[in-house]
A and B are shown apart, each in its own frame.
Chain A
């Protein structure tokens, strides 16, 4: 495969950023969920 460095960098940065934001979202959600009572969560 030609230009493998640029192509690999595109996929690594894209999916790395996505994994990082998903992990941050899950951790923040979990932390806040412990502080907020269930009756204040309209999605339940």
Chain B
């Protein structure tokens, strides 16, 4: 039997990313249905607690993304080969982290309007979170400054290792200072889980779903960054060869 030659170029998806995608669709589908229609309203907060199923997982994924950015940046800076693969994972993870941090701030603001009566307060948790968000916007701006991929990787890796130090400050801000923001509901300091079983289940499914989505997005985006670097390098090579050809004609 003759095998048909492939005419379509290979895309960025692989079996692993398809698994991430499928898990994300299944789990996030439950978050929408369960979070909006099946889980009970909270005894104190009422229906506004439904925002939690989006707010908490997006905050978790943003933390995860920024920690992965720092680990990959350390891999680039301190690795023997200074592999640009680490830098691209760092960049892709930071992009996804900024998206999820923006969603955390948005959902927190709407939840705050319902529970506190205001969209925004200069509260320790909110202020440190906004500062973290702006820091990583700056990180992405630094990545876009230009120069060779190696220079981009080095300067952004140093920045990522400094920026990640803000995460403990954000997380523990509710304990360090007096804050409007509630302490952790699931991993509380006394070890007591203060959530109904179905609410806890939906929250954990949300964490898994958004984490799977993070895996899908980072895998795809770091491959896109790889192809952009190749495309840019080929463009520079072409420009150099054209200039050489121009010079030889003269």
Contact = CB atoms under 8 A, between A and B. Distances in A.
Highest count of chain B CB atoms <10 Å: which of A4, A17, A33: A33
Contact of B48 (A3, A11, A14, A43): A3
Interface stretch (B147-155, B176-184, B190-198, B227-235): B227-235
Contacts of B231: 32, 35-36
Given A2-B47, A17-B99, A33-B11, A9 B224 contact: no
A13 to B, nearest CB: 6
Nearest to B95: A21
B223 A10 contact: no
Interface in A7-44: 7, 9-11, 13-15, 17-18, 21-22, 25-26, 28-30, 32-38, 40-44
Interface of B: 9-14, 28, 32, 35-36, 41, 46-48, 50-51, 54-55, 58, 85, 99, 102-103, 106-107, 110-111, 113-114, 213, 216-217, 220-221, 223-224, 226-228, 230-231
Interface of A: 1-4, 6-7, 9-11, 13-15, 17-18, 21-22, 25-26, 28-30, 32-38, 40-44
